[in-house]
Amino acid sequence: MRELFDEVVGQSPLDPQESARQAMRAPLRKRFYKAAGTAEAEGGFQVTLDGRPIRTPSGRVVVVPVRELAEAVAGEWQAQGESIDPTRMPLTRFTNSVVQSVVDRVDAVRDDIAKYLQSDLLFYRAGHPEGLVAAEAAHWDPVLDWARDGLGAHFILSEGIMHVAQPEAAVQAARDALPAGPWAVAAAHVVTTITGSALLALALLHGVRDADQVWAAANVDEDWNAAQWGADEEAMSRRAAKQIDYQAAVRILQAVGSAS
């Protein structure tokens, strides 16, 4: 069972894409339990397999803060067939990762998110064509305006890919708006790494943009190019895989709230 959890979590628990790639490379394990369920525990709820709580590779019992989330994770285990497919268990990967790698290092994860504020997706704008310039502005400017007016974080924009140094005061103001709880900060980290934007993660956390708006903003360039020249099948497959983990992170936020 310990080997199975190594596969479900992956060696890079804060990188859902790497976890999924590792899981796809590993041979599927046979289902070894009859029923998945939940049970009350100190600090929240456990997910159980035949009455025994699931644990991380280090042996920690997985306890999630709300029943709704525990039931959703249990549902992933219950939905498995004769074999256990970790690629179909995004919430399980997420919850294991939080317990295994985030609860004891929240500040380090917040720092990792804050690194994106030095080179956020929203800072680097197309100079042409006009349609793409307008599309980026429509999706990104409201988030930057909110960061400026709501957080006091005034960032500098650049045309093209030339790096531009951001004011330390702006970076710190945005970092201060990150959540302090392990579940929300882990979800913010996943959204940040998938979208390439800590500001989009903050906008989602603070209700400035909903999940669909954030996803559209993260993919505005790709969507505009696809509308002009058609979608690339391989790129769309990668995007679909990312969206699974993105939706899991959104579901975590909806379940636990931005403070948890």
CB-based burial of residue 229 (10 Å sphere; 0-12 exposed, 13-18 middle, 19+ buried)? Answer: exposed
Confidence of residue 5 (pLDDT cuts 50, 70, 90): very low
Do residues 94 and 110 share a domain? Answer: no
Task: Inform me whether the pLDDT recorded for 259 exceeds 60.
Answer: no
The answer on 133 and 214 residing in a single domain is: yes
Neighbours of 138 (CB within 10 A): 12
pLDDT digits (tens, 9 = 90+) for 219-257: 999 999 999 988 888 888 889 989 999 999 999 999 988
In the block, tokens 């060696």 appear at 11
> Which pLDDT value is given to residue 8?
43
Does residue 81 sit in the same domain as residue 126?
Answer: no
Q: How many domains does the chain have?
A: 2
Which is it for the CA torsion 44, 49, 53, 55, positive or negative? negative
Indicate if 191 and 80 belong to the same structural domain. no
Same domain for 216 and 111, yes or no, is yes
- Residue 94: which CATH number? 3.30.2180.10
Two structure tokens written together for 255: 């379940």
166 with 41, same domain?
A: no
Distance, in Å, from the CA atom of 108 to the CA atom of 114, rounded to the nearest integer, reads 10
Tell me: the pLDDT tens digits for 11-64? 444 565 555 455 445 678 899 999 999 999 999 999 999 999 999 878 899 999
60/121 same-domain check: no
- Interval 116-127: pLDDT, tens: 999 999 999 999
97 and 113 housed in the same domain: no
Q: Which domain holds residue 44?
A: 2-102
Q: Angle formed by the axes of helices 198-205 and 168-176, to 10°?
A: 40
Q: What is the dihedral of CA 180, 182, 184, 190, to 10 degrees?
A: 120
Q: Based on the fold, state whether residues 224 and 144 are members of the same structural domain.
A: yes
Report which residue type is found at 17.
Q
* Strands 44-49 and 52-53, sheet pairing: antiparallel
- Overall pTM > 0.85: yes
Tell me what the mean pLDDT of segment 154-162 comes to.
91
Q: Are strands 124-125 and 158-159 parallel, antiparallel or unpaired?
A: parallel
**In this predicted model, what pLDDT tens digit does every residue of 171-191 receive, in sequence order?**
999 999 999 999 999 999 999
| Boundary-marking domain end, from 69, 102, 135 | 102
Q: In terms of domains, do 94 and 118 share one?
A: no
Q: 64-123 pLDDT, tens per residue?
A: 999 999 999 999 999 999 999 988 899 999 999 999 889 999 999 999 999 999 999 999
